[in-house]
Amino acid sequence: MRGTVLYGPRDIRFEERETPKIVQPTDAVLRLAATCVCGSDLWPYRGLQPIDGPTAMGHEYCGFVEEAGSAVKFVKPGQFVVGSFAASDNTCPNCQDGYQSSCVQREFMLRAQASLLRVPLADGTLVPTPGGPPPDDLVPSLLAASDVLGTGWFAADAANVKPGATVVVVGDGAVGLLGVLSARQMGAERIIAVSRHEARQKLAREFGATDIVTERGDAGVARIKELTKAIGADSVLECVGTQESMMQAVQSTRPGGFVSYVGVPHGVSLDGAQLFFSHVHLHGGPAPVRRYLPKLIDLILNGKMNPGKVFDLVLPLDQVAEGYRAMDERRAIKALLRPQAA
Rounded CA-CA distance 55/12 in Å is 10
Task: Answer yes or no: are the C-beta atoms of 261 and 236 closer than 8 Å.
Answer: no
Neighbours of 216 (CB within 10 A): 17
Q: Which range touches Zn ion (CB under 5 A), out of 1-9, 80-88, 264-272, 310-318?
A: 80-88
CB of 102 to Zn ion, least distance (A): 8
Side by side, the strands of the sheet bearing 11-16 are 11-16, 2-8, 55-56
C-beta of 120 vs 232, nearer to Zn ion: 120
Among residues 6, 68, 103, 139, the one that binds Zn ion under rule CB under 5 A: 103
Among residues 22, 42, 92, 264, the one that binds Zn ion under rule CB under 5 A: 92
Task: Answer yes or no: are the C-beta atoms of 185 and 305 closer than 8 Å.
Answer: yes
Q: Which range touches Zn ion (CB under 5 A), out of 54-62, 83-91, 243-251, 316-324?
A: 83-91
95 in contact with Zn ion (CB under 5 A): yes
The backbone torsions φ and ψ at residue 326, rounded to the nearest 5 degrees and listed phi first, read -65, -35
CB of 4 to Zn ion, least distance (A): 28
- Angular region, 79: left φ>0, alpha ψ -120 to 50, beta rest: beta
CB of 288 to Zn ion, least distance (A): 10
Direct distance between the N- and C-terminal alpha carbons of the chain, in angstroms, rounded to an integer? 10
C-beta of 26 vs 235, nearer to Zn ion: 26
Rounded CA-CA distance 58/200 in Å is 24
102 in contact with Zn ion (CB under 5 A): no
C-beta of 89 vs 234, nearer to Zn ion: 89
C-beta of 124 vs 257, nearer to Zn ion: 124
Q: Which range touches Zn ion (CB under 5 A), out of 13-21, 102-110, 147-155, 195-203?
A: 102-110
Q: Which range touches Zn ion (CB under 5 A), out of 87-95, 135-143, 254-262, 288-296?
A: 87-95
C-beta of 109 vs 204, nearer to Zn ion: 109
Could you tell me how many residues of this chain bind Zn ion (CB under 5 A)?
Answer: 5
Strands (E), 262-310: 281-284
Q: Are strands 11-16 and 2-8 parallel, antiparallel or unpaired?
A: antiparallel
SS3 state of residue 317:
helix
Q: Which residues bind Zn ion (CB under 5 A)?
A: 88-89, 92, 95, 103
